[in-house]
Structure 1
């Protein structure tokens, strides 16, 4: 009888222990599920607070000496959200007054690519339009772009001594870019946007210092791409240049 009592007590203990084990696993899984939902909710909220808009843009259309139709478009992105955003590729669509597409430009990258709340970035591109295009047929440039929330810094460089250099055949912007960080920047990207006396965007230029820039160092730059019309120099009243650096 004593052996039977001990055996029954042992079985009861084992069953009780197994029951507790199952309950513990169930609580752990439930807690993990709630944690996943909380993180997912937080990520959704961050993405909802990420906003980017085209604040201003302008295009310049002209014909060259062999009657090719050129366009130079520049635009300003503005981060109107509450978190930094990483700007992906932008596509420019050049539309005619008849609703047709006169041309497109793809794989355009902003300067800087990462924009803090309340800050802005520049995109610039130029190309030739459809051969059948007349100067009077161009209507507007529209933009297709993507972006996402990020926690990264913009890694902005300092720009000074900016100057516009007009000539009989082209227009360029020169200046000095400085690396204010304590890290070597392997590539420096720059973009300039040109305004007339009324604040209208005339076009822009972009380029790089691809030899890199040492920590605390500075280098001269000259931006001359994409092409601009020959007479643009007399119309430029203000030049804004932005720059950022990165390492591979």
Structure 2
């Protein structure tokens, strides 16, 4: 399918970046629980609870360190309103709990989906502002392209496995510094019914490659999605 070929090309283009200087890596686990609740015909609220556990870090040249530990906890709430056919606007808030700080983030977004035979493409444009103690305000502009692909026909039916691929670009400005982060999240999901599904995949993130050696982060992502 065209969408799968596009993601394969994207992975090939990322290849040369992995050999740039003293590239570093980080490996961990990123479980999440995602609860979506309808408030009215056009309004809904989504709550995501996502702790993060780090496992290993080092450089691709041989240095490594292994130490499993809890890193942080994100709790995100986004309220959305349907404004058109498969289109929504949303406003939200994230609170991040770290061992030494509590971080606050405000979110604004617009999203829409386009259905095709056997899959659909989702587009999300998001801007967020992060406030952290003793740090400059960080503003990020984000675009995410994602696709749920049926493996058995035109639609994803209850009791079926499906493929999900997400790709996101995150441009950040903090003080006089800027950075670009690229994310790629391929995963497999199991659709129990309209209210329950689970997904397992790899959340790969690449950043700091514009002006220095790139940082690579690999997260084992396990998500449970509940619709009320």
Question: Which structure has the larger Rg?
Answer: 1
- TM bucket, shorter chain: under 0.3
After TM superposition, the score normalised by the length of structure 1 is 0.25
- Of Structure 1 and Structure 2, the greater strand share is in 2
